[in-house]
Amino acid sequence: MESLFRAMEAAPLWLLGLILMLLFWSAAALGRWLRERAGKAATPEDKSDPAFIVSASLGLLALLLGFTVSMAVSRYDGRRAATLNEGNAIGTFVYRTDLMPPALRATTLDELDRYVEARLAVGRMGETSEAVLKAHAETGKVAERVWKHMMAVGPQVPDTAVRMLLVESANAMFDAAMVRDAALANRLPPTLVALLILFPVASLILIGYVSGRLIGAHFMASTELILLLTLVLLLIADLDRPRSGTIVTPQAALLEVQAQIRAAKLAVPAAPQPMLSGVNP
């Protein structure tokens, strides 16, 4: 089951939509076949009205879809807020490097530039578990390098209060990264995903069984229902994929802080060059 969900996460949205449409049409056809197999195919003289069964099934399906869309949107908003908070934490660190001596500030900004690039890669690596693990491993290495750099340059900062501010900023930056990583990993539960597929299938089997031959007469209506179900499920899948698809988590906050770091690097005054002996000014 786990391998199936991984394959679904890696599949393109168009392929996932095609598979869902074929599955839903097969479910409707199966319901119709079961009705005919039972010898109870609908006829124009049939006076029974089983519409309440179909209405109840579709009502429950609509409730499930609405609940799931709300969950997916909430997770998307959480990922976006976490990215913004991480960008703010890094930006605060960048501002506080102004309190460092120019030489130390230049090397610190270099390390932060590498760190932000690694954090941006976390949101660009796609949905495969191998790519995600690789991005997180690279981020861990760069974060460790930043921390070791801070421990090395800390004693060279003369003001104790400034040292405390810099260490505090580094800790806040790493904490914000952990919150964002947790938000990116906060996906819809596999049980709910399975229910999102099984419930429409069961509903369409019921519709096909109740309608009998009428489903063939209402081809356009059946197609529209299946298409709408597929589109809603694709929307949910797109919202649940933070690193791929058409609705990805924006990384504007990190891109802005990266531009801020690179502008700050250009503004750092160059270290004075030693004067050669024997050369007159």
Q: What is the pLDDT of residues 23-69, one digit of tens each?
A: 999 998 898 888 777 765 445 555 555 667 778 888 999 999 999 99
Per-residue CA distances from 120 to 140, 143, 257, 271 (Å): 13, 13, 11, 30
Residue 45 lies in a domain: no
- The string of DSSP codes covering 121-147 is HHTTS-S-HHHHHHHHHHHHHHHHHHH
Residue 31 lies in a domain: yes
Mean pLDDT calculated for residue range 94-122? 91
Residue 275 lies in a domain: no
CA–CA separation, 213 and 30 (whole Å): 12
Confirm if 222 and 28 have CB atoms less than 8 A apart. yes
Give every CB contact of residue 181 below 8 A, 6+ residues apart in sequence: 122, 136
Residue 99 lies in a domain: yes
CA–CA separation, 133 and 122 (whole Å): 9
What domain range includes position 262?
A: 2-37+50-267
CA–CA separation, 163 and 166 (whole Å): 5
Residue 157 lies in a domain: yes
Q: What is the pLDDT of residue 44?
A: 53
Residue 91 lies in a domain: yes
How many Cβ atoms sit within 10 Å of the Cβ of residue 191? 9
Of the candidate ranges 104-113, 139-148, 210-219, 241-250, the one whose mean pLDDT is the lowest:
210-219
Mean pLDDT calculated for residue range 122-126? 81
Structure-block tokens of residue 101: 């001596």
The residue ranking higher by pLDDT, 276 or 186, is 186
Instruction: State the pTM of this model.
Output: 0.81
Residue 66 lies in a domain: yes
Q: What is the pLDDT of residue 276?
A: 40
Residue 177 lies in a domain: yes
Per-residue CA distances from 257 to 98, 117, 131 (Å): 15, 10, 24
Give the chain's domain count. Answer: 1
Q: What is the pLDDT of residue 48?
A: 57
